[in-house]
Structure 1
Amino acid sequence: MFTTCEIKQLQAQPALSVRGRAAVQNLPVLIGQTCDRLISHLQGLGEAPSGDLFVAYYNMDMQDLDLEIGFTLSQPLPGKDDIQSVTIPAGLVATCTYTGPYEYMAPAYEALNACIKENGREATGIAYEYYLNGPPETPPEEYQTRIVLPLNTPA
């Protein structure tokens, strides 16, 4: 199940993240390990995560995903080693919120792509998933994921 897709303007958002590559079957372990590292880094700064966990997908090659795992922040904070201080850029996006197990998200992506086409827009090819809740506290049928597809600026 997913909310109605909408096109809207997002503001720039500071974040701490780690960029890497992985096969889709390795994502749960990689995301867990990266979250632990990010939280440890934040604690070392005397901070706690102040925003959502996200994964940015720069391609959709399920055996070699180019991705970025991070937390959004209320203010920029310094990175360390491969933990980078980044800014998720402002811009026009297509977005919806999906509820349910991660492996059944495809219809939400299909609806977003249809919304983009209906509005005469074009996606950049990057996809952000913001995990609003998740394991182990939440059962899979109640997982909430905000999907955000940045759009190209018209020429």
Structure 2
Amino acid sequence: MSNDLLPIGRFARLCRLSVKQLRHYGDLGLLAPAWTDPESDYRYYRPGQARDALMIGLLRAMDVPLPVVARVLSGDGGGDLKAARDRIEADIARRQRGLRLLDRVLAEGLPENDVSIVREPARRVFVAREPATPATIPDATALCVGRLLPRMSPEGVLIGLFPLDMEEEFDVRVTVQAANGDDLLPGGAFASARHVGPYEEISLTVHGVLAWFGDYGHTPAGPVREVYLNDPATTPPERLETRVMVRVEDDQ
């Protein structure tokens, strides 16, 4: 055994990791000990391994996945690290949206929306679809809108379609009405409420509409429709208007 080797306890203190973490990273092949005593199975590390150990601890503290950490240590993980950074940024943005919603609920409670029953005809539409998770709904919706804008007439209205039951993964759909549309948006009776304010707060109005279903004993049927009534490029967020609609399944 070389004299410059550090026992696992001293190396752990140097790298601000626990002995348990070092053993785990060694077992995964991320940071193999420089030498292991064949009789006691005790592990030793070289001081020069501290830089890798510190990098592992830093990246894991920021929730960077272990496979990405391994590629960073090998020198091939630049793109993966950028993707991990983007995911963290998206998660922070999602949590900030959640905080703003929570502040509004704390201040005002769950909105009591003016809900009415409206009857919608079936419409021919173009549809854009994008896979999403609850955290990526805004990005997926924006991608769908971008694909539909070239097919949208001046009087066209965009309608977002979102599942009533949020799964881990689902499709976001956005439609625009067109006489030559290749899909049919079904009609029927809908519970409808007007939302005024940022798109990120629409979920409050959706919950208000669903609360109406509970109050009056009706059965909701998805998808939730969001009818965007003005242009977010020219309208301040606090003045955006959206019609939230949920089909009444038990209305004939």
The two structures share one fold, judged by TM-score above 0.5: yes
After superposition, the C-alpha distances for 1:66-103 in whole angstroms (9 at most, x for unaligned) are 22112123x2x15xxxxxx2111111111111000122
Is the helix fraction higher in 1 or 2?
2
Residues 48 and 105 of structure 1: CA distance in aligned 2, closer, same or farther (over 3 Å): closer
2:171 pairs with 1:66: yes
- 1:37 aligns to 2:147 (yes or no): yes
2:133 to 5, 20, 23: 23
Structure 2 unaligned regions, length at least 5? 1-110
2:112 & 2:195 partners in 1: Cα distance?
A: 4
Correspondence list, 1:31-110, <5 A: 31-40=141-150, 42=151, 48=153, 50-61=155-166, 64-73=169-178, 75=179, 77-78=180-181, 85-110=182-207
* Total equivalences in the alignment: 142
1:18-53 deviation line (CA, Å, top 9, x unaligned): 22311344344433333332233x2xxxx7253211
CA shift, 1:57, in A, is: 0.8
| Over 6 Å off, 4+ runs | none
1:12 deviates by 1.0
Asked whether the equivalents of residues 95 and 148 of structure 1 are also in contact (C-alpha less than 8 Å), the reply is yes
TM-score between the two structures when normalised by the length of structure 1: 0.76
Deviation at residue 15 of structure 1 after TM alignment? 1.0
Cα-Cα RMSD: 2.5
- Report the Cα offset of residue 147 of structure 1: 0.5
Structure 2 contact 195–241 (Cα < 8 Å) conserved: yes
- Greater per-residue strand proportion: 1
Structure 1 counterpart of 2:248, which letter?
Answer: L
* Aligned residues with identical type, % of pairs: 23
Between the aligned partners of 1:36 and 1:70, the Cα distance in structure 2 is 11
Given candidates 217, 221, 227, the residue that maps to 1:120 is 217
Normalising by structure 2, we get a TM-score of 0.49
Matching of residue 4 in structure 1 with residue 109 in structure 2: no
Q: Aligned equivalents of 2:231 and 2:155: distance in 1?
A: 16
Structure index of larger Rg: 2
Displacement of 1:63 after TM fit? 5.0
Q: CA 1:121–1:150 in structure 2 vs 1: closer, same or farther (change >3 Å)?
A: same
Secondary structure at the aligned position of 1:105 is classed as helix
Q: Which residue of 1 aligns with 2:243?
A: 146
